[in-house]
Structure 1
């Protein structure tokens, strides 16, 4: 079966790691990010995989419905579809009272509104497609646990988690359902972790704990996490709306 992967935030971190592995294992990768990753074309050429890059800023919510139309124009009519909503921002790392409206709005748009709008448009456009359709919303333990200074991140991830559960519940009742799941990758050695470690301790009281993860070498590589996610997506019967934690897959 032909497989198409659509990945947001594909230029760095987990998104780039997923993209690189998909380019080696799938038929077509559609990568969405503000900037292109230079290695992707080389990998696509090496493995004979079709590569489509679409430059997009997910902070610009108003363009996302038309973006879905553009994406689906690129998808083969018989292809299985795997859509990974990976893009996200950790900022603002500030306690409530110091969040600031502008940075808070960016967090809400990128972490919550963008994947929700994309999912809504994607479900609508593909509701008559009788083929495997999977959407993965990259989640976090922060969706379930509060962290000092992470009000924006925890809240947006919690909102996306509940959205995924509701959408999964609904899709189980339609003729040609899409499977929507959450996937928590745990702590990874990415640029987001660097941002967390550089936060002011007054803004983020757990900063030293995250420094400890790095110093002790307990951060997982994005490549390892990507591999586990792609293994999960090979499972025939994913539970619609479920929160999958990488710790349960180790």
Structure 2
């Protein structure tokens, strides 16, 4: 039996993964600020049991109890696939114009939340002899700088290194978890719309992202979800590795 736990499950890649898993009869725990009404319909057609846990991940003080709540929903013998997908692209501003509040929100959602969730997940499952996989959704921005993306690039880079360290450490654990970073590339999501609507003075590469859209170069979240789940089903994961969608196509 498999249980998938997905943050940011109501939009973009998270929604595509959720709907695919809901249609597969695997157990599903979905975490987001809002509930998608389609989940009930998809789950009823496949007989999948799912749980919705409402949470705004910038409220990092609540994340330890969130992990306890979600693990209470997991069967004792089930494999667990925990996908930290939630993220924000804002603020898209050059350094000097970021603003503390926007910068803190980016750091909380993009870095602190998945880091705390991963830390608590490992802590609370360390004595559990089952398959445990944590996927931290990353980005090419974790490895490459973009004008106006200081917050996004920095938080994704921090999460990528956090995942590498966790993967290294788990290699010596009695009941190890597998942890990977996964870069989905450019997708046709609301986040891309936010990027395209940025002021050109704030984001120098804005026109390039308009070209991605106009020339049909944006991948569908459904395709990316399919490739990620195929990667997880293959089972042979290098702990701490950064996986790029381009290498799976």
Return the TM-score normalized by structure 2: 0.99
Q: Any conservation in 2 of the 1:133–1:178 contact (CA below 8 Å)?
A: yes
Per-residue deviation at 1:82? 0.2
Q: Any conservation in 2 of the 1:183–1:245 contact (CA below 8 Å)?
A: yes
C-alpha separation between the residues in 1 aligned to 2:27 and 2:235?
20
Q: Any conservation in 1 of the 2:29–2:70 contact (CA below 8 Å)?
A: yes
Per-residue deviation at 1:26? 4.1
Per-residue deviation at 1:236? 2.3
C-alpha separation between the residues in 2 aligned to 1:90 and 1:232?
25
Aligned counterparts, 1:1-250, within 5 A: 2-250=1-249
Structure 2 portions without partners, runs of 5+ = none
State the 4+ residue runs in structure 1 displaced beyond 4 angstroms.
none
Q: Any conservation in 2 of the 1:143–1:157 contact (CA below 8 Å)?
A: yes
Equivalent position SS for 2:145: coil
Structure 1 portions without partners, runs of 5+ = none
Per-residue deviation at 1:27? 2.2
Per-residue deviation at 1:235? 1.7
Q: Any conservation in 1 of the 2:180–2:241 contact (CA below 8 Å)?
A: yes
C-alpha separation between the residues in 2 aligned to 1:151 and 1:219?
23
Q: Any conservation in 1 of the 2:227–2:248 contact (CA below 8 Å)?
A: yes
C-alpha separation between the residues in 1 aligned to 2:219 and 2:236?
26
Per-residue deviation at 1:156? 0.0
Equivalent position SS for 2:50: strand
Per-residue deviation at 1:135? 0.4
Q: Any conservation in 2 of the 1:3–1:26 contact (CA below 8 Å)?
A: no
Q: Any conservation in 1 of the 2:25–2:47 contact (CA below 8 Å)?
A: no
Return the TM-score normalized by structure 1: 0.99
Tell me the alpha carbon deviations over residues 138-171 of structure 1, each in whole angstroms, 9 at most, x when there is no partner.
0000000000000000000000000000000000
Q: Any conservation in 2 of the 1:139–1:157 contact (CA below 8 Å)?
A: yes
Would you say how many aligned residue pairs link Structure 1 and Structure 2?
A: 249
Superposed CA RMSD in Å reads 0.5
